[in-house]
Amino acid sequence: MLLLPPPLAALVEVARAFVSGQADPDGVRQAMPAAWWFVWNGARLLDQLSPGVLRTARVQELLRSARLEAEAQWRALQALESALAESRKVGAQRALEDLRLATDRLQEALRSLRSEEQEADLFSPDPELDHFLKIGRNVLDGHVAAQALQADFPGVASRVTRKRAAVERFALFHTESELGAAAEPILQNLEAGMGAAAEFLQGGRRETLEDCLRLVAPASIELQPLLQEMEAWANQHRCYAAHPLVEELARAREVVLPEELLERLWEDLTVLLEDEAARIQTLRLHPLRVLAGLDPEPAAVLHLAAQQALSQSRSTGLTDAPLEALDEALTSLRKELAQQAELLGQATAPVQGAPFLVEFQALLGRAMQGQLPREELHSAVEHFQALQQGLADELAQSAGLVDPEEEEALQELLTRQGEVGTLLELWCQGAQEENLVEAWAILAETTPRLVALSESLRRRLQNVNPAPTDPICLRCGTANSPSSRYCGACSAVLPISAQGPTEFSEITGADEPAPAAPAHVVRLEDLVRRVEEEQARPAEVQEEVEDLLARAEQVAANFHGQVRPRLLADPTLVEYARFFEEQMEVYMGGLRAILCFAREGRSDLLYRGLESCRSAGAELMALRSVVDQADGH
């Protein structure tokens, strides 16, 4: 489970109090507007995803899933509002659970989107060029409007111009090196690609944008190692200053630069100070500023000194410029920012390998800075305590699997971390900030060892495979297969079977979750449930299933006609082809069964169809990467 966002956490807390009879509906109604706004704003932001996120099939699927979960959040809030109006506590409880599950799934989809963005193939080693090229690809594929490329073009064009100027200065300063000459044809291709982009933005011809991508991507890749070699060469032959750009200014006193190249050098220094100013502002606003002991003000003072030295140097002219003062200010600023980055790295190091605690640390940091109301930390503390209890329970259930010394160490660590929950509870109730500081000190001390021991226990548990327990239907007593969600005899929903240990996985982030059902299957299940509650009509199910079936038939036809021959041509992929066909048939059979329910009212087929769709849909999602790879070759 992920942490609920504060507006939803506040709503859930007061609504639970209403369900348990400890609060009246008015408190829930007061919390509703903030929750409505949060859900609405989140759905709007999904439509404003960065145009530089490459719209792969996986990203498109995640976007669709996220939008479906945002819709599910909206419906859950509507159901909660309706339950409050009618004083239906059971309905309110169900709506709260729906809201929590939809929010969990939405947050997971958003995390996956961020992961896809971070792990996406690079079009260029230069981040700005890479972003620009991905926008171009999205424009060509029809996912993004050309205006997004237009907005990014001036900055990228300026960057290419600065690269050209830097190479030309290097060639003038270091005539004994051949690196500048080697970079010339690559720069020409890079500039030609940017020219093609400009032509596309003026005339809209698709071919010119294709030329841009074809020229810029390989040119930027080829240029990068040459630029690194130039930097290494310049560092080895540095004579006048510690900072590389000030070194170039000093050399420009001896080698007369063309006015345009000198102006570009001054601009590079200006851009550098703008970037450093942004880093200082990031430190000021960082949620771990107090926790990590960050102090951006010395860097701000050095930045001001560097700005003054740069301004004075430009105004007096290169010959009389105080380059020594500029070099000292820039070098000191660089060292100070590096020290701040090191402090931040030291603060975040203890929670690496524990995803929940990374998020928890940020909440503690905000609390230390007075940016988090005490009640908003309460739900996170409860989850932390539940997590520790889960670890303790697993340890008790793992007798014989854990080394005695490791078991003793784990128990000591859990006892020590139990103090964290107590300290934070006191802070939530009004205690002083010292409780937060002490709680973080305990976490920083104990978490690295706890993560290591948890990983060791997880590996041991993975090597043990107890026989699965067949879930028993509570209605008719029939034993079903472990993966079933519905009884094969009477179609009743089966009780959730006991799962293996999961809390170690949650704290270490080491275990992959079980395959999730596709978002459209989850949506279909929700629709079926609403039909059973007479909140929707069977015709709506029929319309949804007919659409899904048409799309599935199209996918199957494409697979048989194009993808299957490629898979069969590779001996290592033959089994994938056969398994994909089998699962697609199961999935489509499930849809047809649900269609019979919608058309003829045959409820005996409903849940069997849903079970087929869920299980086969999860398998098809898992196979997608293999099939997409074959389809792309």
Q: Could you tell me if 131 and 140 are in contact, meaning their C-beta atoms sit under 8 angstroms apart?
A: no
Q: What is the mean pLDDT of residues 458-471?
A: 53
Residue 384 in any domain: the answer is yes
Q: What is the mean pLDDT of residues 174-178?
A: 94
- The pLDDT value given to residue 353: 73
Q: Could you tell me if 251 and 240 are in contact, meaning their C-beta atoms sit under 8 angstroms apart?
A: yes
- Check residues 217 and 534 and name the one with the higher pLDDT: 217
Q: Please say if the pLDDT value at position 457 is more than 80.
A: no
* Secondary structure (DSSP) of 112-126: HHHHHHHHSPPS-SS
Neighbours of 374 (CB within 10 A): 13
Do residue 457 and residue 483 come from a single domain? yes
End-to-end CA distance of the chain: 38
Residue 411 in any domain: the answer is yes
Distance CA 565, CA 547 (A): 27
Neighbours of 21 (CB within 10 A): 8
Among 363-372, 386-395, 456-465, the least confident range: 456-465
Q: Please say if the pLDDT value at position 629 is more than 70.
A: no
Residue 94 in any domain: the answer is yes
Do residue 375 and residue 489 come from a single domain? yes
Q: Please say if the pLDDT value at position 330 is more than 90.
A: yes
Q: Please say if the pLDDT value at position 437 is more than 70.
A: yes
- 86 by Cβ neighbours in 10 Å (0-12 / 13-18 / 19+) ranks as exposed
- Check residues 483 and 349 and name the one with the higher pLDDT: 349
- 575 by Cβ neighbours in 10 Å (0-12 / 13-18 / 19+) ranks as exposed
Do residue 597 and residue 538 come from a single domain? yes
Among 13-27, 294-308, 433-447, the least confident range: 13-27
Residue 292 in any domain: the answer is no
- The pLDDT value given to residue 604: 55
Tell me which of 63, 97, 120 is where a domain ends.
120
Residue 229 in any domain: the answer is no
- The pLDDT value given to residue 565: 77
Residue 282 in any domain: the answer is no
Q: Please say if the pLDDT value at position 158 is more than 80.
A: yes
Residue 410's pLDDT band (cuts 50, 70, 90): confident
- Quick check: helix, strand or coil at residue 493? strand
Do residue 383 and residue 487 come from a single domain? yes
Q: Please say if the pLDDT value at position 307 is more than 80.
A: yes
Tell me which of 120, 151, 172 is where a domain ends.
120
What's the mean pLDDT when you consider all of the chain?
A: 80
Q: Please say if the pLDDT value at position 588 is more than 90.
A: no
If you search the block for the tokens 């021959």, which residue do you land on? 565
Do residue 498 and residue 537 come from a single domain? no
Q: Which CATH number do you get for residue 62?
A: 1.20.120
Residue 428 in any domain: the answer is yes
β partners of residue 479: 472
Paired tokens of 548 = 């899904």
- Check residues 129 and 619 and name the one with the higher pLDDT: 129
Distance CA 377, CA 466 (A): 39
- Check residues 458 and 289 and name the one with the higher pLDDT: 289
- The pLDDT value given to residue 237: 92
- The pLDDT value given to residue 399: 59
Domain count, the chain: 3
Q: Please say if the pLDDT value at position 351 is more than 50.
A: yes
Do residue 491 and residue 538 come from a single domain? no
- The pLDDT value given to residue 515: 46
Q: Please say if the pLDDT value at position 238 is more than 80.
A: yes
- The pLDDT value given to residue 292: 93
Q: Could you tell me if 295 and 342 are in contact, meaning their C-beta atoms sit under 8 angstroms apart?
A: no
Q: What is the percent of the chain with per-residue pLDDT over 90, rounded to a whole number? A: 30
Q: What is the mean pLDDT of residues 225-229?
A: 94
Q: pLDDT tens digits for 481-533?
A: 554 545 555 554 454 433 333 333 333 333 334 445 566 676 777 777 677 66
Residues 6+ apart with CB under 8 A from 506: 355, 356, 387, 390
Residue 497 DSSP one-character state: P
- The pLDDT value given to residue 633: 47
Among 36-45, 425-434, 469-478, 545-554, the least confident range: 469-478
- Check residues 143 and 195 and name the one with the higher pLDDT: 195
Q: What is the mean pLDDT of residues 566-570?
A: 71
Residue 584's pLDDT band (cuts 50, 70, 90): confident
Distance CA 385, CA 398 (A): 20
Distance CA 253, CA 250 (A): 5
Do residue 11 and residue 84 come from a single domain? yes
From the list 240, 248, 253, the residue with the least C-alpha distance to 267 is 248
Among 7-16, 137-146, 288-297, 528-537, the least confident range: 528-537
Do residue 440 and residue 536 come from a single domain? no
Do residue 75 and residue 116 come from a single domain? yes
- The pLDDT value given to residue 506: 38
Residue 251's pLDDT band (cuts 50, 70, 90): very high
- The pLDDT value given to residue 512: 39
Residue 218 in any domain: the answer is no
Q: What is the mean pLDDT of residues 414-427?
A: 88
Q: What is the percent of the chain with per-residue pLDDT over 70, rounded to a whole number? A: 80
Do residue 545 and residue 626 come from a single domain? yes
Q: Which of 300-314, 359-373, 435-449, 531-545 is modeled with the greatest confidence?
A: 300-314
Paired tokens of 84 = 């409050």
Do residue 484 and residue 529 come from a single domain? no
Q: Please say if the pLDDT value at position 162 is more than 60.
A: yes
- The pLDDT value given to residue 49: 66
Among 79-83, 441-445, 612-616, the least confident range: 612-616
Residue 467's pLDDT band (cuts 50, 70, 90): very low
Tell me which of 120, 145, 167 is where a domain ends.
120
Q: Which of 464-478, 484-498, 540-554 is modeled with the greatest confidence?
A: 540-554
- Domain housing 110: 1-120
If you search the block for the tokens 């080693």, which residue do you land on? 125
Do residue 364 and residue 498 come from a single domain? yes
Among 464-468, 535-539, 590-594, 597-601, the least confident range: 464-468
Overall pTM surpassing 0.85 (yes/no): no
